[in-house]
Amino acid sequence: MAILLDESTKVLVQGFTGRIGRFHAEEMITYGTRVVGGVTPGRGGQTCLERPVFDTMKDAVRETGATASIVFVPPPFAADAIMEAADAGISYCVCITDGIPTQDMMRVKRYLRRYQATARMRLTGPNCAGTISPGRAMLGIMPGHIYLPGRVGIIGRSGTLGYEAASQLKALGIGVSTSVGIGGDPVNGSSFRDLLELFEADADTDAVMMIGEIGGSQEAEGAAYVRDHMTKPVVAYIAGLAAPKGRRMGHAGAIVSAAGESAAEKVEILRSCGIAVAPDPSSMGRAMAGVLGALVAS
């Protein structure tokens, strides 16, 4: 079992015929993802990678029965692509696009709330690496070969650090149930708490690694959820311990603007909630191995 995505999930690629969309769609197909078609307005009726291309998401969902999509649409049009996916009945959407204006994402968040919670599309990203359930399906741009199937969930704002965590775990013989990139923008589709809830309910996930960074309050909100609701151990790493206050570091959301948003403050919050925190990126795998060892011993 995995969260969000498995080998039965039918996937559409938005921006299918573009250079980036086509390249990553081919990688996902090779990995085993069930890509059933894609959407590029004005290209309906054509084929790409031996799969049909549609003009609209509604046409594509009606013809293919897809329940998930991945967005490789340029920033000025990406928000419209996400909302089109929601209107078409997609259950899970990953937005890879970087550089979407914050106001556009605020509009997307408001738009999604017009749907009842039980029928609302789940969105991860934008500006994320995607989601992978190792050995089953990949909906993103990550190098699939570094992920070993297993029972540790990963949630990260940074795609690169998510790769590093997966690689370290694999070197230690520890596999991943699902790894989810939530993106590094100030406004994103899903938070740490949203994904922690899913992993807590997943019978085939034994522990979770949470990879955060400076800026925003999502790590603190996730820590509070772990303290109050989670029965599974959580290991965390927070990037940016050396970042000067007020300096933007890479991601648009990685800027300290208020109390509790620096890396040091987040580490203290996480530890106060009973979460083991890796002191540096090279020790993420060892920290998880220690927690799993203690879990087995108990």
Name the residues annotated as catalytic: 251
- CA atoms of 181 and 165, how far apart (whole Å): 12
CA 132 – CA 178 distance, rounded (Å): 6
Instruction: Give one DSSP letter per residue of 1-23, joined into a string.
Output: --SS--TT-EEEEETTTSHHHHH
Task: From 80, 98, 77, select the one nearest 88 (Cα to Cα).
Answer: 80
Cβ pair 182, 211 in contact under 8 A? no
Do residues 94 and 78 touch, judged by C-beta distance below 8 A?
A: no
Q: Give the DSSP H or E segment for 154.
A: strand 149-156
Region of 144 on the Ramachandran plot (φ > 0 left; ψ -120 to 50 alpha; else beta): alpha
Helix (H, G, I), strand (E, B) or coil at 35: strand
Q: How far is CA 4 from CA 43, 161, 245, 296, in A?
A: 29, 21, 36, 27
How many CB atoms within 10 Å of residue 274?
Answer: 12
Structure letter (DSSP) for residue 187 = S
Q: Is 203 exposed, middle or buried (0-12, 13-18, 19+ CB in 10 A)?
A: exposed
